[in-house]
Structure 1
């Protein structure tokens, strides 16, 4: 994603095809945030549905404005000390020409800017799934503001910005294994360690209230992820973007099958939630590696991540931390797996000539991946925990216990996701109701 070095004689010219392609990819990535909202919204109980949707949607508003004001400049401006960027001409996205190209590429700066904006939007939204049922909406909005400024913008510069230390080291993160998924997963862990567990954790049933909504969200994420990954090559001239598209599909399918197989062996059933979660685990794992591995490598990455993430989601019960919707188990673990497996499966024939252990490259790339993974994990974990601690001690992060028990939707948004007032039990009918069909069981909604 960072600028390439080109000779003056080889300076690129604006490509309408690549520009159009990247605008479409940007729209696909934008769709992922509402898709995530549906995915998370279906996984919570009825009384938290709207709050879960809003925790994703508010990121669209906050991060967009911050990105225009200073975020793009901090993430992709001129390097300072290999840790942060800055370009005063980009503050407010001013002094950028309509046809001014992103260095080394055939797309305008504005196109690159809006594509990267969509990454910045979804990353804090990912964190929200770990905090379901218990966080004040105002505190969450302030947390997003501070977190993207202090954590996401610098980390994006480390990984993708020209001069960023991870980029210069040669850490491969094609579309966000470290900057997006490990970053969000570590942040989620840091925050939940500060704010504590939900009322009734490990005691009350906390089942998904709408598995069809979960599947809809997973489908939208899968669809949008093609823009997320294939668009990260910033063009479509040499076939690498096509490789990434194929690898995205292949790894996701393999991860879904692996999760379901593990689930059947371990728990005796193939669940809908497992299929959706397995697909997301595969999408997470292939994100950093989709330009570095072959389709066969993508199968391996997806299958390994599917099993590891399926195993990891149960750790919250063993270690007693309340990761409500398994952000740590899927995004942190999946991001780590996908990033480190590059050190084994990189072919040297995709985005770069870096080769992994199984392709004759030794462990050199693996150690580089370790440096990027654990630096981002450590920084995000600590910084996020500190931010949550400060907010909790000042304005308070959690809603009152009574509001949590009665329902955060009503307390924070004065609304409910579903209106059952007209669904029966009202005025008496003037005609006899038909007899119930034999064998029909009443269904319960876990509220």
Structure 2
């Protein structure tokens, strides 16, 4: 039987194949973005936390995650069934809309992967790698999968019952990762020397490269969520570009006014903040709305990243300040800037829709944020009690690259005479402690 006869559109399929690859690339991009932001002694550990998330989430998603998220609703809009556990019944002839179901499932998998990886930035420099290996699959099943069903799954209560809108993942990805990052940061406590020692990014070119790869992949993230090569995908694509630009400019404006210097880190962070905020709204707002959404995120998030010093929670790489706050901004502003040309009917406050949609968006934000925070906090506490989640003080002081992975990112001759680091040549943590 031909693809055309099965209802599969080859153009839509080709675009979603490309979009899936783009979104997967975002996780290595995130690894570089995060890796450049930490100190030299924990670069590889940061990269590993992102890369291992690809493998862990993939196994969980194929085993049960996809079915629970996108299977038929079972408990009042809360979770799907296990009909497709192990991808059962999803052969090459299975169709989701105009694309193969296996492709749709893979596309959604890439979202789950990067959401888990995002959380690692909140606990950089101080988490046991073994505990992270346990946390990721448990968190994916208990937090990400249910929220994905609420927002995108058949019968999910956020979309079908509440009527809140989220085009590409403000709720399941941005708010969920940000709230979960805050929960884990509280479980682990602050890094040694927090608010006392300088903890500057060690490699800003790496940060910018990572941000560039994220921006590139974000076109697949947002425009791919149209699930077709069509006008909606084109509009989401342009909105994504526009919001990233105004987010960047907004952050730099704040830095120039507040600090007197526009920074490279600020440019990269501002672009990401704008992209975060436009994620839920790229399929709901006009180009003007996208410009405003990005600008609002760039300005507000540039202040939000400093909240951790006032409130004394150590969100190492600003997952809360960028992803939680940016996700909230973008999700709420749907209720202000939504236009019927994009949504098919729903309008925001500024276009005559009243406060109703804004109220729905607010309920969704509070419910998803609270659920993600509470469940993640519980998972983190349990793992901490059973395995210990915080790295040993000695390991944290020395650096997790050397003590956990027996490697260093840069050869600075820490073993003497510039000798390369190998597993067999790594001294004990005690011996290298004074050299770290």
TM class by shorter-chain length? over 0.9
Equivalences for 1:76-115 in 2 at 5 Å?
Answer: 76-80=70-74, 81-88=76-83, 90-102=84-96, 105-115=97-107
- Is 1:279 aligned to residue 271 of structure 2? yes
- Is 1:116 aligned to residue 96 of structure 2? no
Of 23, 38, 44, which aligns to 1:29? 23
- Is 1:206 aligned to residue 196 of structure 2? no
- Corresponding residue number in structure 1 for 2:186: 193
Relative to the length of structure 1, the TM-score reads 0.91
Q: CA offset at residue 425 of structure 1?
A: 6.7
Q: CA offset at residue 345 of structure 1?
A: 0.4
- Rg comparison, structure with higher value: 1
Structure 1 gaps, min length 5: 1-10, 428-446
- Corresponding residue number in structure 1 for 2:428: none
**Equivalent-residue separation in structure 1 for 2:40 and 2:33 (angstroms):** 14
Q: Figure out how many residues of one structure are paired with residues of the other and give that number.
A: 415
- Corresponding residue number in structure 2 for 1:16: 10
Of 342, 351, 355, which aligns to 2:347? 355
- Corresponding residue number in structure 2 for 1:341: 333
Of 305, 308, 313, which aligns to 2:305? 313
Equivalences for 1:120-131 in 2 at 5 Å?
Answer: 120-131=112-123
Listed one character per residue, the Cα deviations across residues 159-196 of structure 1 (whole Å, up to 9, x for unaligned) are 00110000112111111001100000000011111110
Give the root-mean-square deviation of aligned CA atoms.
1.7
Of 32, 47, 52, which aligns to 1:58? 52
* Structure (1/2) with the larger helix percentage: 2
**Equivalent-residue separation in structure 1 for 2:175 and 2:388 (angstroms):** 26
**Equivalent-residue separation in structure 2 for 1:201 and 1:97 (angstroms):** 52
- Is 1:179 aligned to residue 180 of structure 2? no
- Is 1:132 aligned to residue 124 of structure 2? yes
**Equivalent-residue separation in structure 2 for 1:421 and 1:311 (angstroms):** 39
Of 220, 224, 229, which aligns to 1:231? 224
Listed one character per residue, the Cα deviations across residues 288-329 of structure 1 (whole Å, up to 9, x for unaligned) are 000111111111000011111001000000011000000000
Relative to the length of structure 2, the TM-score reads 0.93
Q: CA offset at residue 55 of structure 1?
A: 0.5
8 A contact 2:240–2:282 mirrored in 1: yes
Secondary structure, aligned partner of 1:85: coil
Listed one character per residue, the Cα deviations across residues 345-380 of structure 1 (whole Å, up to 9, x for unaligned) are 001111331100000000111011011111000000
8 A contact 1:240–1:351 mirrored in 2: no
- Is 1:44 aligned to residue 44 of structure 2? no
Runs (4 or more) in structure 1 with deviation over 6 Å come to 422-427
8 A contact 1:292–1:347 mirrored in 2: yes
**Equivalent-residue separation in structure 2 for 1:227 and 1:83 (angstroms):** 27
**Equivalent-residue separation in structure 1 for 2:90 and 2:280 (angstroms):** 30
Listed one character per residue, the Cα deviations across residues 126-147 of structure 1 (whole Å, up to 9, x for unaligned) are 0000100000001011011110
- Corresponding residue number in structure 1 for 2:324: 332
